[in-house]
Amino acid sequence: MDEAGRIAIMARVLGAGGPGIEVGIGDDAAVLSPPATRLVWTIDEQVEGVHFRRHLVSWRDVGWRSYMAAASDVAAMGAVPWCALAALVVPEDVDDAALEAIAGGQREAADAARAPVVGGNLARGSVMSIATTFLGTCERPIERCGAVPGDGLWMAGRVGLAAAGMRALEEGKGTAPGLAAAVSAWRSPRALLTEGRAMAGHAHAAVDVSDGLACDAGHLADASGVQLVLDEVALLEDKGLRDAAGALGASALDLALHGGEDYALVAAGPTAIEGFRRIGEIRAGRGLVLRGVTGERPIEPRGFDHFAR
């Protein structure tokens, strides 16, 4: 199929309108009438061989994951997803059926998030990638920089499970007992949009966990100029994570601290937030501290770094 034919496939699968979408797929640009006076705007990119490996996921998963990874940034700002654009680089060996499955995964994700894909770009290239840009609406965005000493540290969703799932698939243990939830967490992550909205009026600062809890919580600590205390017992409360770690012979704590791609939300704020559980607190100081039963120790803000050597 030529470029026009492939755009037609995408348009047929994705083509849904929504509030404020005046012109969608098919012109030089989408035309929008913003339903709010304040917007948040992000772009995320998923690259084959880095964020996914073709033999470990379905094409539907590739589309779903690319959408949800971008939507998670909107959730992290406490905003409501509005609409998205997707730019695909497509190698020659990705056929029309694969492209349709990718669009199908994007459409399923868009239906779940109630925010349509209203345009994009197709280019050829030797390595598959999907760049997704997202607009959300909000009254008051929640930035990374507002945490203050005395705040609690709260988390919605899970951490470490997706990394366990990817490792299970890489080691050929995708169907082993105790690993089903982990594999599903990695293949079909879900942006925590409801939880993100629940932060309004409660959270002083927030991030989503894409590169790993220690790494992303470290960003929040740096931006706010505070110290984050993570409670080891709270992080290990997740039985599914402990089971997955056991099945892999891995450390559950290591997975929780340094595994990425679960898209949990971490917020700092004075009171409990609906859908979040307490995992620590904010103190004066700098950096990250892990508080275990036998005492405290500093931890490195390490996660998945695209350029670390």
Min separation Cβ 256 and a copy of itself, Å: 21
Q: Which residues bind a copy of itself (CB under 8 A)?
A: 1-6, 22-23, 26-34, 37-45, 47, 49-51, 73-74, 76-77, 79, 85-87, 89-90, 118-127, 129, 131, 133-136, 138, 141, 143-145, 206-208, 223, 305-309
Please choose, from the candidates 140, 152, 155, the residue with its C-alpha nearest in 3D space to the C-alpha of residue 270: 152
Min separation Cβ 136 and a copy of itself, Å: 7
Is the CB of 132 or the CB of 188 nearer to a copy of itself?
132
Give long-range contacts, CB 8 A cutoff, 24+ apart: 170-178: 170/53, 170/56, 171/248, 173/247, 173/248, 174/56, 176/247, 177/247, 178/243, 178/244, 178/246, 178/247
Min separation Cβ 308 and a copy of itself, Å: 5
Rounded Cα distance, 2 and 13, in Å? 17
Is the CB of 232 or the CB of 261 nearer to a copy of itself?
261
How many angstroms separate the Cα of 154 from the Cα of each of 50, 151, 158? 29, 9, 12
Is the CB of 73 or the CB of 151 nearer to a copy of itself?
73
Report the chain's C-alpha Rg in angstroms: 20
Is the CB of 121 or the CB of 194 nearer to a copy of itself?
121
How many angstroms separate the Cα of 147 from the Cα of each of 206, 213, 300, 303? 8, 16, 19, 21
Min separation Cβ 44 and a copy of itself, Å: 6
Instruction: Tell me which DSSP letter residue 48 carries.
Output: B
Min separation Cβ 141 and a copy of itself, Å: 5
Is the CB of 43 or the CB of 272 nearer to a copy of itself?
43
